Structure 1
Amino acid sequence: MTQHIASSRPDSPVRRALGWMGAATAALLAACATPPAPQPPAPVVVAPPPAPAPAAQEPQPSLVSQAASPLEYRKDGARHIYERNANRIYKGQLPPLMHAVGVLQVEVDRMGNVSQLNWMRAPSHVPEVMREIERTVRAAAPFPAPVRMGRVTYTDVWLWDKSGNFQLDTLTEGQRRK
């Protein structure tokens, strides 16, 4: 019984020996244990590249011409001007004498906008007619877009009656003889 009492004291040699043995055993077991399996590296999350910004969509032309030459486009341009000015087209054959005759070059961009006007033969004796023809052409824009050519410069002859009505040579009904 005396021995049991001696080992229950905190500073007893038995208790100290057991403490050292326990610590040594724990250290020995720790040294012999296999190291923990290495953890696989965390997956690297790579964000997808940003989507390209949507290209600015150009408005599509509402009128399109499939003409492959300025001569073909001239008909589309004349029809377009006639459609926009139906009440100003001279009906029937023109009289033998015209108030004005002008030759105008019209440049149309790929969207059908008038980008330039150039008089080849200006009716300079009637500047008000020149201004009215130019105004009429610009007011008719946009013209059919010349999709096969990208842009076009075409020429037409304006036949102007003293009434203020006109015909274009491309679609003229001709002139009366005296």
Structure 2
Amino acid sequence: MTEHLLLRTGRTLGIFAIALTLGACSILKPAEKTEDGKSATTPTDEAAPPGKSDVPTVRLITAQTPAVRAYRKTGARHIYKAYANRIYKGKIPPLVYAVVVVETDIDADGKVTNVSFSRVPSHAPEVPPMIAELIKATSPLPSPGKLGGHTYVDTWLWDKSGKFQLDSLTLGQRSR
């Protein structure tokens, strides 16, 4: 018991020492100089221009609230309507060719502003660009109303025939 406590305390102290060392690295870093010779880290009396921030912009996925899930189905229906002949009818095969998780950014009017991917199939690199083109070609999607501009996520189940289903409207998968 005492040996276990000593090991645990030693491990905790080791992690703490590493954290302090890493923190000290940023403190000891020499200040960068701007073109006029001033320190880049020293605050100035000048106000930053409106809209400018030192914090990098990070794109956040919209939380999957009931309203966002409902809009996801609305967007999927819009895509299904535009590509009725490309929708895989019935239950999709158990070994679908590609599963692609798509993040679609839309503005307050439903215009697609960006399409990106959080999961792409390494064996089917041709599929994500085709999906992006299909989505962009259906823009604008229906207006998101009170949701306004946001990013929503849907999963595309792509059959080797080129037909697809969207997870939000899928009829499921066959067992064989």
TM-score by length of 1: 0.60
Residue aligning to 1:58: none
Gaps of 5+ in 1: 1-66
Which whole-Å CA distance do the structure 1 matches of 2:67 and 2:150 have between them? 8
Residue aligning to 1:98: 96
Q: Tell me the amino acid that sits aligned with residue 121 of structure 2.
A: P
Alignment of 1:1-178 (within 5 A): 69-178=67-176
Which whole-Å CA distance do the structure 1 matches of 2:105 and 2:121 have between them? 19
Instruction: Provide, for residues 95-131 of structure 1, a one-character-per-residue CA deviation record: whole Å limited to 9, x for no partner.
Output: 1101100100101101211111121111232121111
Q: Tell me the amino acid that sits aligned with residue 148 of structure 2.
A: G
Which whole-Å CA distance do the structure 2 matches of 1:123 and 1:110 have between them? 31
Give the total of aligned pairs: 112
Q: Tell me the amino acid that sits aligned with residue 97 of structure 1.
A: L
How large is the Cα RMSD of the aligned pairs?
1.5
The residue matched to 1:120 in structure 2 has which SS? Answer: strand
Q: Tell me the amino acid that sits aligned with residue 94 of structure 1.
A: I
CA offset at residue 69 of structure 1?
2.7
Contact 1:160–1:167 (CA under 8 A) maintained in structure 2:
yes
Q: Tell me the amino acid that sits aligned with residue 143 of structure 1.
A: L
Which whole-Å CA distance do the structure 2 matches of 1:69 and 1:151 have between them? 13
TM-score by length of 2: 0.61
CA offset at residue 176 of structure 1?
0.5
The residue matched to 2:147 in structure 1 has which SS? Answer: coil
The residue matched to 2:126 in structure 1 has which SS? Answer: helix
Which whole-Å CA distance do the structure 2 matches of 1:68 and 1:92 have between them? 26
Contact 1:93–1:175 (CA under 8 A) maintained in structure 2:
yes
Contact 2:101–2:156 (CA under 8 A) maintained in structure 1:
yes
Q: Percent identity?
A: 51
Residue aligning to 1:11: none
CA offset at residue 68 of structure 1?
7.1
- Greater Cα radius of gyration, structure 1 or 2: 1
